[in-house]
Amino acid sequence: MADKLVSVIMLTYNHAPYLKEAIDGVLMQNTNFPFELIICNDASPDHSDRIIKTYAEKYPEIIRYFLHDINIGFIENQRFAFQKAKGKYLAYCEGDDYWTCPNKLQFQYDFLEKNSEFVMTTARNLVLHQDSGKIANDGKDLIFENKELVDYTQETFFTERPTQTFTYLIRREFLDLKWINIYPNYRDLYYFYHLLEFGKGRAFNKIVGVYRLHEGGVYSSLAIEKKLRTSISIFKNIKKQNNDTRANHQIIKDLDQLINKYYYLKEFPLPIFHKNLLKSIRERFEISKDYKILFLQLVKTVKYSLQKK
């Protein structure tokens, strides 16, 4: 297999119904450079193995297939895949998402080759709500505001992130796998943060793929709370490991969402006794030291509780 300039990582577990779209989206890429597709199957109990083997046998010069005998989990599967990559650049697409732009790799590669001060590039996507079949945009219209592109840095990472993992192309030399051992439950936001230590990112206002959202109650109040709590945890870890207080901006933003757009919309019998609501109000104050906001939130909680009686 000739040296590849781009390594596309595809992690998969139980994605059999979607794998063909995911793999075809990579294989349809029109490039003037060689690329490889590294598929890592984390011991899927469905028929993913059969589907992937068919492709791997048909495209041996492109596809490198690894099947784990036992399930090692997303984080270790990710570490394994990154270690197998040989390309100068890395792209990523999970087995249930798919690319729709045949020039996705080429235009991103061309940009990074010509602009050494950039370490990563991303683009936009559509969102497919799998349960309903409805397609929506990625919710980033306000960030782009009819712009063709948006540049971002580690500084702006804490205020807005026009990034989506399966749309990126990054310079592999700046991906330090040591952070997998340092951060609990290693996620893409951690390596985005550290990549941006070495240069800028550029997001193109161009749709390159479809992110598949398996709803299954994802819009239930519990799922919303979990999503926001996960984000809070990520930015608390970034703050702790790097002594970077800029993370407070995102933590406060998530706490405000949690308090105002989740807890007050939920039908609590008595909000004043809801420990997670009070915990969030306390957390926000400990970071912001804003007595005015604290007072207003507590008054609102008491008032809402009296209305519920």
* Residue 220: predicted pLDDT: 42
Domain ranges of the chain: 6-213, 221-308
- Give CA angle at 269 (264, 274), nearest 5°: 65
The pLDDT assigned to 214 comes to: 75
Tokens 């906001």: give the residue. Answer: 293
Low-confidence ranges of the chain (pLDDT < 70): 1-2, 215-223, 261-273, 305-309
Residue pair 37/6 in contact (Cβ under 8 Å)? The answer is: no
Share of the chain above pLDDT 90, in %: 73
pLDDT for position 293: 92
pLDDT at 218: 36
pTM of the predicted protein model: 0.89
Residue 292 pLDDT: 93
With a CB cutoff of 8 Å and minimum separation 6, the contacts of 46 are 14, 15, 16
- CA–CA separation, 69 vs 80, rounded Å? 14
Q: How far apart are CA 58 and CA 214, in angstroms?
A: 30
Pick the CATH number of 6-213 from 1.10.3720.10, 3.30.450.70, 3.90.550.10, 3.40.605.10: 3.90.550.10
Distance CA 175, CA 82 (A): 9
Residue 309 and residue 295: Cα distance in Å, rounded?
22
CB of 35 closer than 8 Å to CB of 48: no
